[in-house]
Structure 1
Amino acid sequence: MTEAVLSEVEGLTVSQVGHMGRLVLDRPRKLNALDAGLARGISAVLDVWRDDDSVQVVLIESSSPRAFCAGGDLRAIREALLADGPERAFALMDRAYDTMRQLAAYPKPVVSFLDGITMGGGVGLGCHVPWRVVTERSVLAMPETGIGLVPDAGGSWLLSRTQGLAGLRLALTGGRMDAGQAVAMGLADIHAPSETLDSLRDALAHTLPAQVFASMQEQGAAGLALPPVLEQCYAAASVAEVIERLQSCPLPEARQDLEDMGRASPFSLEAAWHGWHRARALETLEAVFEVERELVQHVLERPDIAEGIRARLVDRDNAPLWQPARLEDIPAHALHDLRAL
């Protein structure tokens, strides 16, 4: 029955082994980019399995060790944006958000194998579930400011739950986490060697995750402490002040942060700053998703996202022409509208 529901969904393989329902993302050439069709397919099978007593646990993973999911299908979003406008582009993104929220609230245990690249929408797909496994091949990030977008997919919830300001730093710079850092930051639970994934999968087919991972779960402090001087740079009142403090910071990490933010859309930096602080003050993932949805709709009205995707993924010249090109040139009314969201 389940296979029939998804028999025509491109890029998704569905099976049941023992009491485990298995969802395998299978778009390796696109690094499992999540589009509306794939999101809709995942939702359909989750609906079936929710009421199927023979399925006790769900596993979501990739067919390729290169990537779990590199994010949303940004090319498709740009095409929709240019052809049909912001509302259509947002509808595609919002369909994926619905699937992420469904996974986060799913009544049965869900396990994600975050093996390989896990960024943006991939974080939203795999990091809101109860059991998240990373390997030595895992690379996690929310790199949205570099394409003119804003941390979304519930990413600002995850990055705002950590101790200190390391999450704010990652939201602004799009910095990457390895497996150990992802566990420390609270985006993953289990750091396992990639060669053990087959045995873990076999165990999940007949044993519940709490038992499978009982001796493996790493109880991190949900925080990756920054050096005090770097932490102080991010304890600022604005993005502009963060940059000013980084310019005076002697640490090499500060130089790298300035380079990363220098490549980002200035308006996206402001939106990421606002989104992170809003998320920090909210108490539920659902509430954060609503804030992110408003921010995404807002930035889709601006030219930076189409330009960012062009520069990073279409023409690959890595030379986006942001509008405006500098933080100080963002009109006061634009900042007022952003902060009113």
Structure 2
Amino acid sequence: MTEPTAAERVIVRTEGALGRLTLNRPEAINALDLGMITQITAALEAWVDDTDVQIVMIDGAGERGMCAGGDVRELHAQIVSGRSAETIEFFRAEYAMNAMIAEYPKPIVAIADGITMGGGIGLAGHAAIRIVTERSKLAMPETRIGFTPDVGGTWLLGRAPGRFGEYFGLTGGTMSGADAVYLGFADHFVPSDRLGALREALAYRADPTGPAEIVLLFDETPDPSELPASREWIDDAFSEDTVAEIVARLQAQGTTDAAAIADLLEGLAPTGLAVTLDAVREARALPDLRAALESEYRRVMWFVTQHPDLVEGIRAQLVDKDRNPRWDPATIAELGPDAGADARAYVPQRPLF
């Protein structure tokens, strides 16, 4: 076993046949910065040809979660200070890492225990074997800061049953472990008190059994997701063509649940909602994850360089914390007929791949 350095933000080591990557920034729920992405990428590159490493595991340090997402406070600082080159470098490196995880020649096991959101979905959601627990809280919450889901999140959302992709993309709602399995964001439910034994089995298994078969020995059936019971009204509303029509349909349904979601959407950034709706639907028709990442990259770079809502959303939620964002436009009713068009058509200064 190789020993890590305690101060490293990603602990990289091997245990038996297992190459382990542990995000080690628990005070920030392991939020990703460029240095962490670089470390993960370098380790994965090194292990491709390392015959001693047969399986890779990605998890997070601490009790709160695997990864709360990207470091958006740093993103805010870069944009407002004109350091756009750093922002571009971050997203290009992150998306390249997401694609590498999805295409990796050896099995990657991701443990999305606790909070796993935004950039954390980019780490966990594209692994070969995706594990959740009773503590898991998964989400793509980007619309809460006037932004749009990325890191391949639209690829996963676009393949969820029915219109749950639009629902979770627009609302930024949180999935339980059982929800994540139902929606296709995870494969297995393993109780958190069995994770240590699972790691040991993957690292030191004595037979050639594949990692998926080993995980099945620890997999349990969670309490069923409650989402199927809501699918009818969610599909009915979120199949509408525009954000305004979705909200109107929710209001017309006349139920407490639908009204609450309509109220939620009316408080979020109208532009972010329109761009997200467009992105999820585009991703549904795309051929692979790389195409979805390129689609997201166009939209993300548009927000970074062309539209004020991302900076304003981070300011209101995380910097000044006044919870009073001034969106542009301010209301859903003010959105144009194809409000996602400019972001969809944007051509970034530097290509993603």
* TM-score of the alignment, normalized to the shorter chain, above 0.5: yes
8 Å contact kept, 1:147–1:312 = yes
1:302 aligns with 2:307: yes
Tell me the equivalent position of 2:328. 323
8 Å contact kept, 2:73–2:314 = yes
Give, as a single letter, the amino acid of the residue that structure 1 aligns with 2:39: G
Tell me the equivalent position of 2:280. 276
Give, as a single letter, the amino acid of the residue that structure 1 aligns with 2:249: R
Deviations 1:65-115 (A, max 9, x none): 201000001011111111125453232222111111111111000001111
8 Å contact kept, 2:16–2:204 = yes
Question: Shift in Å at residue 326 of structure 1?
Answer: 1.1
210 and 332 in structure 1: CA distance in 2 versus 1, 3 angstrom threshold: closer
- Work out the CA distance in 2 between the residues paired with 1:54 and 1:174: 40
Pick the aligned partner of 2:25 from 24, 27, 32: 27
Deviations 1:105-147 (A, max 9, x none): 1100000111110000100111100111111111000011111
Tell me the equivalent position of 2:256. 252
Tell me the equivalent position of 1:55. 53
8 Å contact kept, 2:298–2:343 = no
Deviations 1:236-266 (A, max 9, x none): 1111100110111123221221232123211
- Work out the CA distance in 2 between the residues paired with 1:276 and 1:193: 31
- Work out the CA distance in 2 between the residues paired with 1:332 and 1:259: 21
- Work out the CA distance in 2 between the residues paired with 1:9 and 1:97: 25
Question: Shift in Å at residue 219 of structure 1?
Answer: 9.8
Pick the aligned partner of 1:287 from 281, 285, 291: 291
- Work out the CA distance in 2 between the residues paired with 1:58 and 1:160: 27
What's the secondary structure of 2:130's corresponding residue?
Answer: strand
- Work out the CA distance in 2 between the residues paired with 1:23 and 1:144: 25
Deviations 1:287-329 (A, max 9, x none): 1111011111112221111111111111222211111111232
- Work out the CA distance in 1 between the residues paired with 2:105 and 2:260: 42
Give, as a single letter, the amino acid of the residue that structure 1 aligns with 2:316: A
Give, as a single letter, the amino acid of the residue that structure 2 aligns with 1:39: I
189 and 223 in structure 1: CA distance in 2 versus 1, 3 angstrom threshold: farther
161 and 223 in structure 1: CA distance in 2 versus 1, 3 angstrom threshold: farther
What's the secondary structure of 1:248's corresponding residue?
Answer: helix
- Work out the CA distance in 2 between the residues paired with 1:305 and 1:214: 41
- Work out the CA distance in 2 between the residues paired with 1:307 and 1:45: 36
Question: Shift in Å at residue 206 of structure 1?
Answer: 2.3
Pick the aligned partner of 2:238 from 234, 240, 249: 234
Pick the aligned partner of 1:314 from 319, 332, 336: 319
- Work out the CA distance in 2 between the residues paired with 1:44 and 1:146: 32
8 Å contact kept, 1:72–1:93 = no
- Work out the CA distance in 2 between the residues paired with 1:86 and 1:200: 42
Pick the aligned partner of 1:107 from 105, 108, 132: 105
8 Å contact kept, 2:190–2:220 = no
8 Å contact kept, 2:163–2:234 = no
223 and 154 in structure 1: CA distance in 2 versus 1, 3 angstrom threshold: farther
Deviations 1:268-296 (A, max 9, x none): 00100110010011121111111011111
Tell me the equivalent position of 2:130. 132
165 and 216 in structure 1: CA distance in 2 versus 1, 3 angstrom threshold: farther
Tell me the equivalent position of 1:265. 269
TM-score by structure 1 length? 0.93
Tell me the equivalent position of 2:211. 209
What's the secondary structure of 1:237's corresponding residue?
Answer: coil
What's the secondary structure of 2:297's corresponding residue?
Answer: helix
TM-score by structure 2 length? 0.90
Structure 1 window deviating more from structure 2 (195-204 vs 231-240): it is: 231-240
Question: Shift in Å at residue 167 of structure 1?
Answer: 1.3
What's the secondary structure of 2:63's corresponding residue?
Answer: coil
- Work out the CA distance in 2 between the residues paired with 1:273 and 1:81: 25
What's the secondary structure of 1:133's corresponding residue?
Answer: strand
Deviations 1:183-217 (A, max 9, x none): 10010111111100000010010234122123456
Give, as a single letter, the amino acid of the residue that structure 2 aligns with 1:236: E
Tell me the equivalent position of 1:64. 62
- Work out the CA distance in 2 between the residues paired with 1:211 and 1:185: 22
- Work out the CA distance in 1 between the residues paired with 2:220 and 2:88: 37
What's the secondary structure of 1:13's corresponding residue?
Answer: strand
How big is the alpha-carbon RMSD for the aligned residues of Structure 1 and Structure 2?
2.5
8 Å contact kept, 1:157–1:288 = yes
- Work out the CA distance in 2 between the residues paired with 1:59 and 1:128: 13
Greater than 3 Å deviation, 4+ residue runs: 6-10, 85-88, 214-220, 222-227, 330-336, 338-341
Map 1:78-227 onto structure 2 (within 5 A). 78-207=76-205, 208-215=210-217, 224-225=227-228, 226-227=230-231
Between the two proteins, what is the percent identity of the paired residues?
40
- Work out the CA distance in 2 between the residues paired with 1:217 and 1:193: 8
What's the secondary structure of 1:153's corresponding residue?
Answer: coil
Question: Shift in Å at residue 339 of structure 1?
Answer: 4.6
Gaps of 5+ in 2: 347-353
Give, as a single letter, the amino acid of the residue that structure 2 aligns with 1:94: R
